[in-house]
Structure 1
């Protein structure tokens, strides 16, 4: 995962049952945080910003990744759309220009 950016565009991984998708996404981040090589950043957009709130079990893992030095970023437009600014427990709010800069420098892995 070194020199990679993870783009989280949904609050679940894969299509199908929402509860299953949320569980699979949590497993992904549980395993990711245990790796020696971590991504440079995680950028959350669309319903992916919901993973940064207290309502998502994923937020605990994203907070731990942030504490390990991974930049965790929430799309401002998406945070405003879902009205979750006061519910974020991980990440910092920023704009699409930050993601474009990251994408220009690093390989992007999209989680949707």
Structure 2
């Protein structure tokens, strides 16, 4: 059974790296699945900017499933409400909670480390 660690995962875009967007979206799916399978989960996954689209996309079942497994194990999944509104996807949020900049920054400051994808 996975434990929750003292680090957070920051997802600031709906892909990993620069270059091909399809490859980047697939890399994000694989990265989140790898985190969900790890022995030590982040204490929180923090989604901002286009990162919120990954958790609100009805065609992105892999991301929602990985984040859902992490949430069930005790990892917070917080999405920026301003970002959800900007992209018009607040009603489509599939996993976690709508949050704000203050709460997201608090989680970052309290963590021993922040891993950004």
Shorter-chain TM-score bucket reads: over 0.9
Cα distance between partner residues in 2 of 1:4 and 1:85: 26
2:83 equivalent in structure 1: 78
Q: TM-score, with normalisation over the residues of structure 2?
A: 0.89
Q: TM-score, with normalisation over the residues of structure 1?
A: 0.93
Could you tell me which runs of 5 or more consecutive residues in structure 1 were left unpaired when the two chains were aligned.
none
Could you tell me which runs of 5 or more consecutive residues in structure 2 were left unpaired when the two chains were aligned.
none
Residues 52-82 of structure 1, C-alpha deviations (whole Å, 9 max, x = no match): 1223231221111111111000001100101
Cα distance between partner residues in 1 of 2:70 and 2:104: 18
Moved over 6 A (4+): none
Aligned residues: 111
Of the three residues 5, 11, 34, the one matched with 1:8 is: 11
Cα distance between partner residues in 1 of 2:10 and 2:72: 19
Q: Per-residue deviation at 1:20?
A: 0.3
